[in-house]
């Protein structure tokens, strides 16, 4: 996550989603922001989006992942939830 957290410092956004890593993970990175003239705490969301790449198949020809020796991974994707509020949007990631 460190590589992605550093990348997030260069951009102003509320959520960052990354792919091509073949894992599913999320984190909240604290930051300060402005709401009008008021300083507020609003975290940035970091999501590594997951994979549908199977690293093991029983009874079939070995996949590229098996031949390369990749470790097992959780199959699936993240869900980014956005709930509008009166003064802001509440956001969270389900893994």
Residue, of 33 and 1, whose pLDDT is higher: 33
pLDDT value of residue 18: 94
Residue 73's pLDDT band (boundaries 50, 70, 90)? confident
pTM above 0.85, yes or no: no
pLDDT value of residue 17: 95
pLDDT above 70 coverage of the chain, percent: 99
Show the tokens assigned to 61. Answer: 């020809």
pLDDT for 60 beyond 70: yes
Residue with tokens 């509320």: 14
């Amino acid at each position: 996550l460190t590589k992605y957290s550093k990348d997030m410092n260069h951009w102003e956004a509320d959520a960052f989603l990354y792919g091509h890593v073949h894992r599913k993970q999320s984190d909240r990175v604290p930051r300060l922001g402005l709401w009008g003239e008021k300083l507020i705490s609003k975290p940035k969301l970091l999501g590594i989006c997951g994979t549908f790449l199977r690293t093991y198949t029983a009874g079939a020809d070995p996949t590229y992942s098996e031949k390369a020796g990749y470790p097992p991974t959780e199959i699936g994707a993240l869900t980014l939830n956005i709930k509008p509020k009166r003064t802001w949007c509440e956001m969270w990631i389900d893994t």
